[in-house]
Amino acid sequence: MIVFLNGQFVPEEQAVVSVFDRGFQFGDGLFETLRVYRGKPFRWADHLERLRRGAEFLKIKLPFREEELLRHALELIERNRMPESLLRISLSRGVGLRGYSPKGADRPTAVMTLHPAPDLTGPAPGWRLITASPRLPANEPLAQFKTCNKLPQILARAEADAAGANEALLLNTNGAAVEGGGSNLFWIEGSTVCTPPLASGILAGVTRLVVREICRKLSLPCREADITPAELFEAEGVFMSLSSRGVVEVVSLDGKDLKRSPLVEEIRTAYEEMAG
Amino acid sequence: MIVFLNGQFVPEEQAVVSVFDRGFQFGDGLFETLRVYRGKPFRWADHLERLRRGAEFLKIKLPFREEELLRHALELIERNRMPESLLRISLSRGVGLRGYSPKGADRPTAVMTLHPAPDLTGPAPGWRLITASPRLPANEPLAQFKTCNKLPQILARAEADAAGANEALLLNTNGAAVEGGGSNLFWIEGSTVCTPPLASGILAGVTRLVVREICRKLSLPCREADITPAELFEAEGVFMSLSSRGVVEVVSLDGKDLKRSPLVEEIRTAYEEMAG
């Protein structure tokens, strides 16, 4: 496996960062995960836009121009012969002084790695969710970016693993159901597709945007709303969106069946046609 | 500079971790910072106890027994000839599969590094604080451990830097003033020393414990309470506690003077006598 590291292509074993890198010390960085189809990263511009805005928010300077980074990404895919894969882009603030102040840390670390894509052949099985215990702070602007501070999501995912579930549902500090450990939440009310607002403390998911584009194409009304876990059982259908898998129907929450709507399959199929 | 890395002592340039280390990818780890006085890490047992409990919470296996780690720490201090310094212990979950699930990541990374201690000679200047914008989730058990998810604290500290302040005051999602970016909060009401409860979403600071021990010695009553930033101006005195500096008086918040109590200096002096 070849890895892109600060402008160089290096073998996996040489893909290392200093223990003084603030990414390792404090999770002081951002990342993006993109699905690569036929050698091309899907929705590159949207992922890069989120990365750029996140870097601006954290005041980390992007060490490459977007076109440069894309050229390197395509070369990485080519060198590893992985036209169907997942591309992870990592950006950390690099090495700095001790302590939380970012002062003096002005040489960021940029990494790109490739990973096998999940196997999505065969019928799409619905996901079983459990409610996780970590709470996300509502109204936290930081949450919308894909930062390298993922312990709540890791703990949530570990709880899902332990329960034999596919994904964890996270609540925010107001008690609303807001997103999955690694996915955005949608539900259907009538023929309206609903999803929590960014202010509820969720990631501004790229696939969340794509789903809304699809809804416009299918003439399905779409709106942002709050919902409690209990209210999800009243919804006509529930699904999650994520870059690595697209649209995934949710069939149960905490062992209790959810209602299922044919609209979910319609949206899922439209996503596959657009992406795949 | 010599660094301890997974059982080896290596030169700084060779102190590296894989870009696939979950510490770098997700901040999936813990750390401790200890003040070293005359070659001995101060309050070693308390720091190790917090690290151990954090590792248990995150289900990361400590790769060394406590006595072993202490022996290595003492050797590191000796090799670097830094008897007056700060010791950072980092523990990450190590390399794992892609994604948030910790499954399969069972070879943690352990690192120890030394850093210059802050210069505390001369009169102790009081700190000027500003109120920071990131909010900490109240009632979050994860907050009590020193995890490698420090972006709220980094952003808070960057705001303090930009304002020319010494430290940032963080509020929780309920609007209470709960801790500093890298320090615990105390204030004085009558002759009672008050500090927010762990459930407010704060770090279980080791120096916070030491301050409470000192209060018992000085026969000062101590209690846990909630406070708003506005109410801090009613307090007879405000101070912060942190391992690298001990007890630091706070003289102003957002440019407005706070009241000052002689008890703060009494507690500070008692801390210095105990530690130094």
Q: Strand ranges (DSSP E) for chain B? A: 2-5, 8-11, 16-18, 29-37, 40-41, 85-92, 109-116, 127-136, 167-172, 177-180, 183-189, 192-195, 222-224, 237-242, 246-253, 256-257
Q: What is the mean pLDDT of residues A10-31?
A: 98
Q: Is B240 on the interface with A (CB under 8 A)?
A: no
Name the pTM for this structure.
0.96
**Each residue's pLDDT tens digit, B120-164:** 777 678 999 999 999 999 999 999 999 999 999 999 999 999 999
Rounded average pLDDT over B66-93 = 98
The closest CB to that of A26, out of B18, B19, B148, belongs to B148
What does DSSP assign to residue A126? Answer: P
For residue B276 the two structure tokens come to 């130094």
Whether residue B158 lies within 8 A of chain A, CB to CB, comes out as: yes
If one compares B275 and A120, the residue with the highest pLDDT of the two is B275
B181: contact with A, CB 8 A cutoff: yes
Between residues 67 and 86 of chain A, which touch chain B (CB distance below 8 Å)?
86
Q: What is the pLDDT of residue B259?
A: 98
- Judge whether A88 is closer than 8 Å to chain B, CB to CB: yes
**Cβ contact (<8 Å) for A16 and B15?**
no
**Does A10 touch chain B if contact means CB atoms closer than 8 Å?**
no
Task: Please name the residues in contact with B117: beta carbons below 8 A apart, sequence gap of 6 or more.
Answer: B35, B36, B84, B85, B86, B244
pLDDT digits (tens, 9 = 90+) for B215-250: 999 999 999 999 999 999 999 999 999 999 999 999
List of chain B residues whose C-beta atoms are within 8 Å of the C-beta of residue A173: 137-138, 173
- Average confidence score pLDDT of chain B: 96
Tens digit of pLDDT for each residue in A124-183?
789 999 999 999 999 999 999 999 999 999 999 999 999 999 999 999 999 999 999 999
Which pLDDT score, from 0 to 100, does residue B269 have?
95
Structure tokens at B10: 């290596």
How close B265 comes to chain A (CA, Å)? 25
The first and second tokens of residue B38, run together, are 């005359």
Weakest-pLDDT range from A118-122, A266-270, B189-193: A118-122
By Cβ distance, the residue of B5, B29, B102 closest to A158 is B102
Q: Which of residues 191-230 of A touch B (CB under 8 A)?
A: none
Instruction: Supply the pLDDT for residue B119.
Output: 81
Contact B153 A101 (CB under 8 A): no
ipTM of the complex: 0.96
Structural domains for chain B: 2-116 (3.30.470.10), 127-275 (3.20.10.10)
Task: Report the distance separating Cα A110 and Cα A90, nearest Å.
Answer: 6
> Cβ separation of B19 and A15 shorter than 8 Å?
yes
pLDDT higher than 90, residue B40: yes
Question: Mean per-residue pLDDT for B165-181?
Answer: 97
**Which residues in chain B have their CB less than 8 angstroms from residue A19's CB?**
3, 5, 15-17, 90, 111, 113
